[in-house]
Structure 1
Amino acid sequence: MDGTPPHADARNHKPERGIFREVVLGKPGGYAAIILLASLAVYGFGPRGLRFFMVPSISMEPTLQVGDMLATLRYPEYHRGDIVVMRHDGEYLVKRIAGLPGDVLNVVDGALFIDGKYASEPYIKEPMGYVIDQPVQVPEGQMFFLGDNRNHSEDSSMERAKGFGGDHDFGKLDEVVGRVIFRYYPYSRWGRVRSYPLVNTAGV
């Protein structure tokens, strides 16, 4: 015995979970793991519309990064705060639902208000650098969608050109392909993607 307490050097070793991630998800094991997970997912969730997408822009930072690979599932209904992939104006977008039919939204002092009440959004990259001083009501069958990187996102905060009537660029609920449920690449950030229940200070 040299007087060294048992396990004194344990801090120098990776936990089992870390070793598992490195071995199974590192190359080439990572590709095999992804194929296996995808096969199981398609078998189990195919009828629910499981689909895969890659994040194309910085508009959802810091929640999602450019190049993140995502899995989505179709749901019978969607909620404020859900991160969804939608096919809008001929292209796929990944955004967060901020408003649903009947909601009245505006942006004041860099913050979002729903039905006149402040909405907590801890996930956004920075306060909004624009205002929507005239309250906007979401039409039936549509939604108000925003990127988490509010000042660098093309979303419902923008007004369409005059040729489209000058209205805000709402998305249709039936344009939603599915809710983002999982990030499977890069391996360092893989895991479940959680939506945030977006409510106003009145709790609705």
Structure 2
Amino acid sequence: MEPKTKKELKSWGKALIIALGIAFVTRTFFFAPYTVKGESMEPTLHDQEKVFVNKFNVNDRYHRGDIVIIKGKEKNYVKRIIGLPGEKIVMENDKLFIDEVLCKEPYLSQNLKLAVKEGSNLTGDFGPITVPHNKYFVMGDNRLKSEDSRNGLGFIRKQSIIGKSEFVFFPFSHFRNVE
């Protein structure tokens, strides 16, 4: 019976190594969990929520409104893409204009109500700013408490984008798609 046990152990060991290899490759190149830190994306994402990030589309073109994870020098950031390469951005009285066309930002409605209630703007006026080739302009949804392209991060290189947030998976009671 002993030879069969050794053979079974080798088989299990081989299966375990293959499974770990597949998990490593998947996490490294395709999908990964990330923890949201801070309040810059509230109310869309909350501090300590865990999001599932699709890294597979890194070489694809990102779209306005995508929530992405950005590789920083010391830490990663979660932000929303606002401006695409070559676009001219102007923010005036909490209205976003892209190439002189008003761009709706429905994800800001809750924060805008709070800002109006307090008698202030959610987003300070700026622009015109032209986004350079192969770069993106990003902002957090909680504009008053966000370090982003306006005030520290600058334009984001395409190569610095780790991936696109797909859904919140923890806490389980908050499971939802990220939009």
Match of 1:87 in 2: 71
Q: Secondary structure at the match of 2:106?
A: coil
Question: Which structure 1 segments of 5+ residues have no match?
Answer: 1-38, 161-167, 195-204
What amino acid maps onto 1:123 in structure 2?
Y
Residue 96 of structure 2 corresponds to which residue in structure 1? 112
Q: RCO higher in 1 or 2 (8 Å CA, sep ≥ 6)?
A: 2
* Cross-structure match for 2:157: 172
User: Which residue of 48, 52, 62 corresponds with 1:67?
Assistant: 48
* Structure 2 unaligned regions, length at least 5: 1-19, 113-120
Higher share in helix: 2
| Counterpart position of 2:133 | 140
Q: Deviations over 1:172-198 (max 9, x none)?
A: 11101110012111112112223xxxx
Equivalent pairs counted in the alignment come to 146
2:125 aligned with 1:131, yes or no?
yes
Q: Of the candidates 31, 35, 39, which is equivalent to residue 54 of structure 1?
A: 35
Counterpart of 1:102 in structure 2 is 86
- Distance change in 2, residues 1:42/1:121 (3 Å): farther
Give the share of equivalent positions with the same residue, in percent.
32
2:52 corresponds to which letter in structure 1?
A: A
Deviating 4+ runs (over 3 angstroms): 41-48
Alpha-carbon separation, structure 1, partners of 2:81 and 2:173: 26
Work out whether residues 70 and 185 of structure 1, in 8 Å CA contact, stay in contact via their aligned partners in 2. Answer: yes
Match of 1:186 in 2: 171
3-state DSSP of counterpart to 2:107: coil
Cα separation, 1, equivalents of 2:159 and 2:23: 22
TM-score with structure 2 setting the length: 0.74
